Structure 1
Amino acid sequence: MHSTFMASKMGPLIVMLIFFTLWASPAISSNSEGNALNAFKMRLSDPNNVLQTWDPTLVNPCLWFHITCDSQNRVIRIDLGNANLTGRLGAELGRLQHLQYLELYVNNFQGTIPKNLGNLKNLVSFDLYGNKFKGEIPKSFAKLKSLIFLRLDNNKLTGPIPRELDSLSRLEVLDVSKNDLCGTIPPGLFSRFAPPSFYNNPRLKGPEKGPVPYNFGC
């Protein structure tokens, strides 16, 4: 009698637990992305309040301005070009595994470009031009096999163009002009792009020919 009573009580409870689990799972995933984006926001100075809708208490970030999600509430696009933001990029952006478009052009971003952004395997467009990034172009970008559009011009980047980027077979647009890159322009993929893609890098030679050392001038 007692066991029958308990079973009748547990049945609805189990159903409720299953329902809650199914309901909460997408939210947990979305909150993970929201947490990453909020960590990114906390690094920034935002004088124009373009990030005022980025509220970490919401179920997911798909309701935030400048964020686009797919049908499964996964973040696929960040549009923050010309937003007058100042700060540094952190490793947290590398956790947005479904991101396809990262548009951060014409801001005041500083510091180095995080290596773990090379983990964004679905990235199609990566636009960082018109900032104050310094340091080298990460070799990890060679893992961005879906990349079609890459603009890093008008920054303060140094070092050679990584040979590893020759593996980006889908790349159609490249601009690394107006930096302080050095060495020689690697052969292969880079021969597709016109000279203006490399202009205004006084220490950059190219394209690489014959026995010229790759890091010549670095």
Structure 2
Amino acid sequence: MAFKVLHLSIFILFLAKLSLSYEPRNHEVDALISIREALHDPHGVLNNWDEDSVDPCSWAMITCSAENLVIGLGAPSQSLSGILSGTIGNLTNLRQVLLQNNNISGQIPPELGTLSELQTLDLSNNRFSGVVPEFLGQLNSLQYLRLNNNSLSGPFPVSLAKIPHLAFLDLSYNNLSGPVPKFPARTFNVAGNPLICGSRGTEGCSGSAIAGPLPFYLNSSSGKHKSKKLAIALGLSLSLVSLFLLALGFLWLRQKQKGKVILNISDKQEEGLISLGNLRNFTFRELQIATDNFCSKNILGAGGFGNVYKGKLGDGTVMAVKRLKDMTGTAGESQFRTELEMISLAVHRNLLRLIGYCATSNERLLVYPYMSNGSVASRLR
């Protein structure tokens, strides 16, 4: 009898230990592991995604909220290929997906349409094919959508015009066709789609006229009347550019006489950058002087994208200068443009607005107001 009681006690202790050691699987971990398995990762940037982990917040390319929920997936310019798994729809708290400048192919998964919290989706410069899914029109929180430079085809997705808070849309350089509806987006781009209504070879296509409060870009047919207007506009533009270059040359000659350059770094502003709102375009020399040549004693913080320095302009204005690293080349310029556009469009009662930027042939910098008490992250909690 005593032996049976002992045997039963040991069995109960074993079951108790087993139940205590069991930890339920995190559904976000499962979803991310499925995403990783569907991708080819030549640089191993996703190697620390551990399927036995219960907390993905320490993983590379993942951003979490204060409640340890996955809200961001960002792996731009990492040479990823393969397909984007539909299990991304299980990351129900996602607010940001940044997978631009990779080689991901296949169709855009319909499960993305279930992410009700999604605010930013950038799949540009990949190899996605098929139609632009109508389900993207269900993303009522979406503010920034970039699908340009893929191989998407089919009719222009009318559902996108129904997204209430969409501020930026880029579908350029695909193979879309048909009419383009009116958009609430403040900036949108459909250039490089030869079958869009208004392009050459699409006469007789009927649809809504295109309108928007800010500039948008569309390949349009050019008749004689339009050619004349274009010639006049081009002539005026060339005259203005000539005057601007003369003024710039005069200012450069004056500046050249004021003293020597602190570092032998080109201060020529990068051409082709987007001008947004009232952002100030700083010169690199201005920011060098303001930060005491980016002295280490002025470093406010450091991260994966570069250091942040405290700086002071000649008029006494104190600011924070984010000096981005590894931002040269085509991929770097695209990343810089994306960040500049997104930050300029961001609206939050506690979020500091971007006040300026600097872009030279080998430097990318962002300028914010200096905040002496705490970080931006602490203000957003």
Query: What TM-score do you get using the length of structure 2 for normalisation?
Result: 0.46
Pairwise CA RMSD of aligned residues? 2.6
Quick one: distance in 2 between partners of 1:211 and 1:175?
Answer: 22
| Aligned pairs for 1:182-201 within 5 A | 182-189=177-184, 192-193=186-187, 197-201=189-193
Q: Which fold has the larger relative contact order, with Cα–Cα distance below 8 Å and residues 6 or more apart in sequence?
A: 1
Residues 106-137 of structure 1: CA deviation (Å, up to 9, x unaligned): 00000100111000110010000000000011
Residue in structure 2 matched with residue 158 of structure 1 by the alignment: 153
Answering whether residue 197 of structure 2 is matched by residue 205 of structure 1, we say yes
Instruction: Tell me the secondary structure at the aligned position of residue 118 of structure 1.
Output: helix
Extract unaligned runs of 5+ from structure 1.
Answer: 1-12
Residue in structure 2 matched with residue 61 of structure 1 by the alignment: 56
Q: CA deviation at 1:206?
A: 4.7
Residue in structure 2 matched with residue 35 of structure 1 by the alignment: 30
Matched-pair contact (CA < 8 Å) for 1:105–1:128: yes
| Runs of 4+ that moved beyond 4 A | none
Quick one: distance in 2 between partners of 1:59 and 1:112?
Answer: 30
Residue in structure 2 matched with residue 85 of structure 1 by the alignment: 80
Residue in structure 2 matched with residue 124 of structure 1 by the alignment: 119
Quick one: distance in 2 between partners of 1:193 and 1:39?
Answer: 34
Matched-pair contact (CA < 8 Å) for 2:178–2:205: no
Q: CA deviation at 1:188?
A: 4.2
Deviates most, 123-132 or 159-168: 159-168
Q: CA deviation at 1:187?
A: 2.4
Residue in structure 1 matched with residue 95 of structure 2 by the alignment: 100
Answering whether residue 105 of structure 2 is matched by residue 113 of structure 1, we say no
Q: CA deviation at 1:51?
A: 0.4
Extract unaligned runs of 5+ from structure 2.
Answer: 1-12, 209-381
Identity of aligned residues (%): 37
Residue in structure 1 matched with residue 249 of structure 2 by the alignment: none
Quick one: distance in 2 between partners of 1:54 and 1:121?
Answer: 25
Residues 186-214 of structure 1: CA deviation (Å, up to 9, x unaligned): 12436x545xx01000111159xx98158
Quick one: distance in 2 between partners of 1:77 and 1:136?
Answer: 25
Which of 131, 137, 140 lines up with 1:145 in the alignment? 140
| Aligned pairs for 1:10-49 within 5 A | 28=25, 31-49=26-44
Which of 72, 75, 80 lines up with 2:67 in the alignment? 72
Quick one: distance in 1 between partners of 2:183 and 2:38?
Answer: 38
Q: CA deviation at 1:60?
A: 1.5
Quick one: distance in 1 between partners of 2:55 and 2:72?
Answer: 14
Quick one: distance in 2 between partners of 1:211 and 1:128?
Answer: 29
Query: What TM-score do you get using the length of structure 1 for normalisation?
Result: 0.79
Residues 156-210 of structure 1: CA deviation (Å, up to 9, x unaligned): 00011211122111011110001000011112436x545xx01000111159xx9
Quick one: distance in 1 between partners of 2:151 and 2:74?
Answer: 22
Instruction: Tell me the secondary structure at the aligned position of residue 52 of structure 1.
Output: coil
Quick one: distance in 2 between partners of 1:63 and 1:75?
Answer: 10
